[in-house]
């Protein structure tokens, strides 16, 4: 390791650090589990530097773990076997925007808010919005999605190509700026969601979308969660193109009201948005309202003004701190699962009952157009038994999703938090993931301890 | 081989055949090149039978090549190293339709027309439409797309999960009926487009879409190809949600007129369609017409009646036989490429000039919303020099796409026709494809001779 660090320092100078405060920062995460700190943190500036550091690390058998904004929820970016954390803070540029092709080329460290600020005057935007101001490299690696995925898709759908540094330092390019291709294995799709276990992403070609001419947002209160979910199913089947459709349970609404001073009705709520021409969104909103009323919705409140819409989405994006504040001193275990939409009401109802029986507060909210929902489990950090209870609740929520034909995570990813559940979801296919990992990273240097069977 | 055939006959009885007529049928393709016949053809009925035959073939080192409807254009399904062709003719059932989840589970041998006929009364449909009545297993393996991809995506976007028999006979399942997942490597996306080189697909979970309430179709004649392409770019940027947008050059229009008795104006043509509510499609069509007129379009003819629409799309789908008929006795070399849309006009113009200089007729048409276009090169089968000329034109068309930042094929795939171009497109990434192939199929038994470097 010391020999590797000496070579890395020769490559990066003071952009290679072993300062304890920096190491400690990279040992923290939004997940429930701590981890050992990396041995060093690198701040490369170019793909060539990443390739050179990977070559050095490979020669010295030093693990490499990428780092974006540190917002992942299952410990993805924690260097659980030590080694070098590669922080993309200094690779956060927009390389190119090709407006005619609706494509942006960016470095991995740029955050989605910074990218969209950059795009504001182009008439285009990047739609994937996981809530946190995550980095694009991290979002790609986690296959992030969020509120707008029901309309615009996830990172899987919005990454057209990548530059990747492989474990030995080789640089490859996948995909292109063409909208589609049938030329070979979908390597772009393989690296998206690989959580850095197959290589380090150093550049992304992203699909952009036109900023909608008109936007219509509404909140809509339902007598019960099941009615809200049934309304979503009916709306999807009618083909009304929703841009976002979010579910908040009563506890989430109460927490948001308390945190923001809003006065939303204390009942299961849908927060829905339509994008399009003025006439189209007006029609969509009216048709949705008619469907919602058929499911007993009351208090459909439209937010036509931009500032009212911004206030609603700020409320939604602040649901996490709002819920956290609802139990002073608590820390949150955030977990997600995703099911076929026909099973969503059952999955939410069973999860709610399970949480209620546990004695831990755990509001539920989610991207219901995708069958994806979250529980935010609030535990007293001084009580290890509550952490144990919360982890067991999260595990049962994932197992319930599998039983209902879904997946253990819709958008948070595996990290090491959900590694023990991979066999249950994938069976023999998990072994195939291990074969791919060994083929591309035979020395197991890229984010080791994650994603694949640990044999 | 004889020992393998004996075991296979024990497994399949008379659904294992070595009849010369059957072998010869499976040595034919829509591509320019012939190939040797397979040694035998199997007609399995279940995933378990496919697994059993793969296990037998693996023990005896017999290559396995999947066969759907035989409509692929680059020789994908030709058993170039002999062995067993696995014909999915008898695995063509709809296993399950889950209307609430908008999901269908099907066997690989069903064709897209059969599937959509089956779905007609459900209010749902499967949108991927490559023109030919291909099998779903073949469409997945080729990562097919076609006319509606600009709105509904390609097979990459519409396959949620797969059952796959691997080279040794192991069966894995990928994905689920949940709309999304971030649980592990995207194996579904890896097998989609792998052209059967990593395994045999024996079941597919497909994403369905609601049949649109209203459909509006129009043809639109332009003074020049460039104006038509610029109109498409402007329409996309405006965010008007086109369901289909097809380009036909003058030669294609002339051939279609002659073949169908239609009377379309003899100029570059867009064939455009909108899906949605009656009000939305009316607005979309009007906004499109305004944009098109700005680019000099004349003769915007709407087809509001279902039979008129059907006539137009039948015309489009029959463009291939229509073009073939325009040079009596000819056979067609069909080739495609795909570029960033900003480069589309240049790519088409240069291709057209190249074809004109060659002396071979070669109408051009394409899915211009995706930057994807086709040339149908008509050659005299008695003149080997024309085949050589056509192959050279196709190669230059692919190389031109790469020079313009695109891909050698948007939807036809690689087969063996485009294998020599893979290195130019992917560079070192092609080697990664080879690593994946060797990891999953170390004995090189799954459709050998295709897709990856042949070392």
* CATH number of domain containing A114: 3.30.465.10
CB A248 within 8 A of CB A271: yes
The edge-to-edge listing of strands for the beta sheet with B214-221 is B298-303, B214-221, B269-276, B242-248, B364-367, B372-379, B331-338
Contact list in B for residue A189 (CB cut-off 8 A) is 156, 186, 189-190
On whether residue B176 sits in a domain, the answer given is: yes
The CA distance from A134 to the nearest CA of chain B, in Å, is 16
Roughly how many angstroms between the first and final C-alpha of chain A, as a whole number? 24
Q: What CATH number did the domain enclosing B39 receive?
A: 3.30.43.10
Token pair listed for A31: 């997940």
- Is residue A36 domain-shared with residue A85, that is, in the same domain? yes
Cα B112–B113–B116 angle (5° rounding)? 85
Q: How many helices (H) and strands (E) does chain B have?
A: 17, 18
Of A57, A89, A121, which residue sits at a domain end?
A89
On whether residue A158 sits in a domain, the answer given is: yes
pLDDT on residue A67: 97
**Beta-carbon contacts of residue A280 (< 8 Å; ≥ 6 apart):** A214, A274, B276, B279, B280, B283
- Is residue B52 domain-shared with residue B119, that is, in the same domain? no
| Number of separate domains in chain A | 4
A356 touches chain B (CB under 8 A): no
Question: Residue B182 and residue A405: Cβ atoms within 8 Å?
Answer: no
Q: What CATH number did the domain enclosing A265 receive?
A: 3.30.70.2190
Handedness of CA B259, B263, B268, B270 (dihedral sign): negative
Question: Residue A239 and residue B102: Cβ atoms within 8 Å?
Answer: no
With 80 as the cut, is the pLDDT of residue A34 above it? no
- Residue A120: give the domain boundaries: 91-210
- Is residue A95 domain-shared with residue A85, that is, in the same domain? no
Of A281, A299, A320, which residue sits at a domain end?
A320
- Is residue B256 domain-shared with residue B342, that is, in the same domain? no
The CA distance from B227 to the nearest CA of chain A, in Å, is 15
When scoring B185, B242, B398 by the number of chain A Cβ atoms within 10 A, the one with the most, hence best to mutate, is B185
pLDDT on residue B35: 74
B241 touches chain A (CB under 8 A): yes
Question: Residue A176 and residue B99: Cβ atoms within 8 Å?
Answer: no
% of chain A beyond a pLDDT of 90: 90
- Rounded Cα distance, B254 and A71, in Å: 58
Among B283, B339, B433, the residue with its CB nearest the CB of A279 is B283
On whether residue A452 sits in a domain, the answer given is: no
Q: Which helix (H) or strand (E) holds B372?
A: strand B372-379
On whether residue A430 sits in a domain, the answer given is: no
- Is residue A286 domain-shared with residue A235, that is, in the same domain? yes
pLDDT on residue A319: 93
Of all residues in chain B, the one with the smallest CA distance to A403 is B176
B435 touches chain A (CB under 8 A): yes
Question: Residue A100 and residue B341: Cβ atoms within 8 Å?
Answer: yes
On whether residue B362 sits in a domain, the answer given is: yes
DSSP state of B416: T
The CA distance from B130 to the nearest CA of chain A, in Å, is 13
Among A103, A184, A192, the residue with its CB nearest the CB of B426 is A184
pLDDT on residue B70: 92
On whether residue A74 sits in a domain, the answer given is: yes
B285 touches chain A (CB under 8 A): no
Among B143, B184, B185, the residue with its CB nearest the CB of A182 is B143
Of all residues in chain A, the one with the smallest CA distance to B422 is A183
pLDDT on residue B36: 84
Give residue-wise pLDDT tens across range A412-442. 999 989 999 999 999 999 999 999 999 999 9
**Beta-carbon contacts of residue B11 (< 8 Å; ≥ 6 apart):** B49, B52, B53, B56
Question: Residue A425 and residue B183: Cβ atoms within 8 Å?
Answer: yes
Mean pLDDT of A257-271: 94
A432 touches chain B (CB under 8 A): yes
- Is residue B197 domain-shared with residue B269, that is, in the same domain? no
The CA distance from A108 to the nearest CA of chain B, in Å, is 19
- Rounded Cα distance, A228 and A297, in Å: 8
CB A57 within 8 A of CB A38: no
**Beta-carbon contacts of residue A335 (< 8 Å; ≥ 6 apart):** A73, A374, A375, A377, A393, A394, A397, A398, A412
Of A210, A244, A272, which residue sits at a domain end?
A210
Complex ipTM value: 0.96
CB B338 within 8 A of CB A178: yes
Give residue-wise pLDDT tens across range A194-223. 999 999 999 999 999 999 999 999 999 999
On whether residue A455 sits in a domain, the answer given is: no
CB A202 within 8 A of CB A169: no
On whether residue A422 sits in a domain, the answer given is: no
pLDDT on residue B33: 66
Cα A171–B371–B189 angle (5° rounding)? 50
pLDDT on residue A238: 85
Question: Residue A340 and residue B239: Cβ atoms within 8 Å?
Answer: no
Please state the φ and ψ torsions of residue A402, each to the nearest 5 degrees.
Answer: -65, -45
Q: What CATH number did the domain enclosing B336 receive?
A: 3.30.70.2740
Question: Residue A179 and residue B338: Cβ atoms within 8 Å?
Answer: yes
Among B193, B233, B372, the residue with its CB nearest the CB of A185 is B193
- Is residue A206 domain-shared with residue A98, that is, in the same domain? yes
Token pair listed for B191: 């097998």
pLDDT on residue B32: 67
With 70 as the cut, is the pLDDT of residue A32 above it? no
- Is residue A83 domain-shared with residue A66, that is, in the same domain? yes
List per-block mean pLDDT (blocks of 10 residues) for chain B, which spans 455 residues: 96 98 90 82 98 98 97 92 98 96 97 97 95 96 94 97 98 97 98 98 97 93 95 89 95 96 94 93 94 93 88 91 95 96 96 97 95 97 95 97 98 94 98 98 98 92
pLDDT on residue B31: 72
Mean pLDDT of A86-112: 97
Cα–chain center distance at A423:
22
**Beta-carbon contacts of residue A216 (< 8 Å; ≥ 6 apart):** A273, A274, A281, A282, A284, A285, A302, A304
- Rounded Cα distance, A432 and A420, in Å: 16
Among A185, A338, A439, the residue with its CB nearest the CB of B178 is A338
Roughly how many angstroms between the first and final C-alpha of chain B, as a whole number? 24
């Amino acid at each position: 390791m010391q020999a590797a660090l000496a070579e890395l320092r020769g490559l990066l100078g003071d952009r290679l650090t072993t300062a304890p405060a920096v190491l400690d920062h990279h040992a923290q995460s939004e997940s429930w589990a701590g981890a050992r700190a990396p041995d060093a943190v690198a701040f490369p500036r170019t793909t060539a530097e990443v390739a050179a550091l990977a070559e050095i690390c490979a020669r010295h058998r030093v693990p490499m773990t990428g780092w974006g904004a540190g917002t992942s929820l299952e410990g993805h970016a924690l260097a659980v076997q030590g080694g070098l954390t590669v922080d993309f803070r200094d690779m956060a540029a927009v390389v190119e925007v090709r407006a005619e092709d609706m494509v942006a080329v960016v470095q991995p460290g740029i955050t989605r808010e910074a990218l969209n600020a950059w795009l504001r005057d182009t008439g285009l935007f990047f739609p994937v919005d996981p809530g946190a101001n995550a980095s694009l490299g991290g979002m790609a690696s986690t296959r992030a999605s969020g509120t707008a995925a029901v309309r615009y898709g996830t990172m899987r759908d919005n990454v057209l190509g990548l530059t990747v540094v492989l474990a030995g330092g080789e640089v490859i390019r996948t995909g292109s700026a063409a909208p589609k291709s049938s030329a070979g294995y979908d390597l772009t799709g393989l690296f998206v969601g690989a959580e850095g276990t197959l290589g380090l992403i150093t550049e992304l070609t992203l699909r952009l979308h036109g900023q909608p001419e008109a936007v219509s947002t509404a909140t809509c209160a339902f007598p019960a969660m099941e009615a809200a979910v049934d309304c979503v199913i009916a709306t999807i089947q009618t083909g009304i193109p929703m841009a976002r459709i979010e579910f908040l349970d009563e506890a989430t609404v109460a927490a948001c009201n308390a945190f923001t001073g809003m006065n939303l009705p204390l009942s299961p709520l849908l927060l829905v948005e339509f994008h399009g021409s003025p006439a189209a969104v007006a029609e969509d909103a009216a048709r949705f309202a008619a469907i919602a009323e058929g499911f007993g919705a009351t208090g459909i409140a439209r937010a036509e003004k931009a500032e009212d819409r911004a206030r609603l989405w700020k409320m939604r994006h602040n649901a996490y701190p709002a819920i956290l504040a609802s139990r002073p001193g608590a820390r949150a275990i955030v977990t997600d699962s995703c099911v076929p939409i026909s099973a969503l009401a059952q999955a939410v109802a069973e999860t709610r009952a399970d949480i209620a029986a546990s004695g831990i507060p755990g509001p539920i909210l989610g991207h219901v157009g995708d069958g994806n929902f979250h529980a935010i489990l609030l535990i007293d950090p001084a009580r290890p038994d509550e952490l144990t209870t919360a982890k067991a609740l999260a595990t049962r929520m994932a197992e319930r999703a599998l039983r209902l034909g879904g997946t253990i995570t819709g958008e948070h990813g595996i990290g090491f938090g959900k590694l023990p559940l991979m066999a249950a979801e994938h069976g023999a296919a998990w072994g195939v993931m291990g074969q791919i990992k060994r083929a591309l990273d035979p020395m197991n240097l890229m984010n080791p301890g994650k994603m694949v069977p640990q044999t």
